[in-house]
């Protein structure tokens, strides 16, 4: 019985080690979304989901904006500054190191909460951005 349990654990660990980075990203995105989304609204922002797009190798975060931020004019003129702050945060985020080492993309899409089909801000970071 003890050998059977040891063999079962070894097989499980071996299978976990053989998973591709893409499959791991997909699993992590799904687990994050199931556990954390939708998040409570904080600072007029809610995290709606995280999805891994296998075709583009992109970790794609979706957010909704509320209150004063739920207005296309609220972001006018702030795009470059927001993009730079987000890029600096991504560079410092160690929990994404495995995905950054695999040269994945990271996309952040902010939708209006009052008009969910309206994208208020969207930015994608590629390895050429965060590896500088």
> Nearest 10 degrees: CA dihedral of 100, 90, 93, 67?
-140
pLDDT at position 106? 98
What pTM, to 2 d.p., does this model score? 0.84
- Give the closest residue to 74 by CA, choosing from 124, 123, 120, 122: 120
Residues found in the chain = 132
> Which phi and psi angles does 97 have, rounded to 5°?
-55, -40
Cα distance between the two ends of the chain:
54
Q: Which residues, 6 or more positions from 83, have their beta carbon under 8 angstroms from its beta carbon?
A: 123
Could you give the percent of the chain with pLDDT greater than 90? Answer: 77
The DSSP output letter for 103 is T
């Amino acid at each position: 019985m003890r050998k059977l349990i040891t063999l079962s654990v070894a097989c499980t660990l071996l299978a976990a080690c053989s998973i591709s980075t893409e499959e791991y990203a997909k699993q992590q995105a799904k687990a994050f979304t199931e556990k954390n989304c939708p998040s409570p609204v904080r600072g007029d922002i809610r995290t709606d989901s995280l999805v891994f797009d296998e075709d583009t190798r992109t970790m794609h975060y979706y957010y909704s904006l509320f209150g004063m931020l739920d207005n296309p004019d609220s972001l006018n003129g702030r795009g470059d500054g927001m993009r730079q702050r987000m890029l600096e945060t991504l560079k410092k985020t160690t929990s994404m190191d495995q995905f950054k080492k695999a040269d994945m993309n990271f996309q952040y899409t902010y939708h209006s909460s009052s008009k969910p089909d309206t994208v208020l801000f969207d930015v994608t970071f590629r390895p050429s951005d965060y590896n500088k």
